[in-house]
């Protein structure tokens, strides 16, 4: 933030120097409006107007991205809540069952399944030869 303030201050200083050095009058015409304005003041005003316009455009783009990311965050939070609810209901169902297995046995069984799937399956020929 400090660098932005420094850049704006420097631009304002250079603009002021430019405006004081270019005091000649210019005729500015826009539609039906005509006015005699010092050249330096007019150019600084046009520059400042362009800066404000670009700031407004970038601000609207920032709000657009912010809304997009808020929506995505909301969707992901809803998905997490659904998964937590599903997990809770599964744990409650596990606690309510009269199956002789304990929770620890079920957890060990679930954790060991991926390891069993990763075992290499030998081709039939190798199995028959052994």
Residue 79 pLDDT class (50, 70, 90 cuts): very high
Residue 26: per-residue pLDDT = 84
pLDDT(60) > 90: no
Q: What is the percent of the chain with per-residue pLDDT over 70, rounded to a whole number?
A: 75
Cα(36)–Cα(28) distance, integer angstroms: 6
* Greatest mean pLDDT range, 49-58, 73-82, 89-98: 73-82
pLDDT(112) > 70: no
Average pLDDT for the chain: 77
Residue 116: per-residue pLDDT = 47
Token pair in block for residue 99: 């199956």
pLDDT tens digit string along 14-52?
A: 888 887 887 788 888 878 888 888 888 888 888 888 888
DSSP output for 79-115: HHHHHHHHHHHHHHHHHH---S--HHHHHHHHHHHHH
Cα 124 from chain centre: 53
pTM (2 d.p.): 0.45
């Amino acid at each position: 933030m400090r660098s932005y303030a420094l850049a704006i201050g420097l631009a304002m200083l250079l603009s002021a120097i430019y405006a004081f050095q270019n005091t000649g009058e210019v005729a500015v015409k826009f539609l039906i409006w005509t006015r005699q304005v010092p050249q330096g003041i007019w150019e600084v005003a046009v520059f400042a107007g362009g800066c404000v316009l670009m700031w407004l455009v970038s601000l609207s783009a920032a709000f657009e991205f912010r809304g997009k990311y808020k929506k995505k965050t909301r969707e992901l939070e809803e998905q997490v809540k659904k998964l937590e609810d599903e997990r809770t209901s599964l744990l409650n169902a596990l606690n309510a069952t009269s199956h002789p297995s304990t929770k620890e046995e079920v957890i060990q069984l679930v954790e060991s399944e991926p390891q069993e799937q990763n075992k290499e399956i030998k081709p039939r020929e190798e199995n028959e030869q052994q």
